[in-house]
Amino acid sequence: MSFQDKLEQVLADYRRNRENLQSLQEKMTEKSSTATAPRNAVSATVDIHGQVTAIAFPTNAYKNMAPAELANAVRDTVRKAQQQAREEMIGLVEPMMPEGMSMRGAEPGKIDVDRFFPDDPEDSVFLRALNEGK
């Protein structure tokens, strides 16, 4: 295989990876996670960014709760839904990440596609790391 053929293969792989990541990012905007508190007192739904999109009270259990207990149940349920969304996003993204890179600690849904796969491959953080011997 000639150098030109190898270069074209690398660029084709790069473009495919960029498209896959953009597609994944679009799919992630459609994802949501729902958690339910004990006794079905409250359920909370969040988007991939962890923003609350719905709160529901599926049963009358909340009527027998003290205000502070209900507030804690809502807070804990929202946090559980946010953690589920975060874990789902990580599960989708990490298989696409280069070895040694992780989404742990990143804000859900905030993947900077252009940072990892810019239009100009020379600006890629991956190529910079390779050139620096990392």
Which residue segments constitute the domains of the chain, with CATH numbers given? Answer: 31-103 (3.30.1310.10)
Tens digit of each residue's pLDDT, the chain (134 residues)? 888 888 888 888 888 888 888 888 888 888 899 999 999 999 999 998 889 999 999 999 999 999 999 999 999 999 999 999 988 888 887 777 766 666 666 554 455 666 667 777 766 665 665 555 44
pLDDT number for residue 80 = 97
pLDDT number for residue 29 = 81
The whole model's pTM is what? 0.64
What angle separates helix 3-28 from helix 67-93, to the nearest 10 degrees?
160
Q: What are phi and psi of 36, to 5 degrees?
A: -125, 140
Bridge-based pairing state of the strands 32-36 and 43-47: antiparallel
Two structure tokens written together for 80: 């559980």
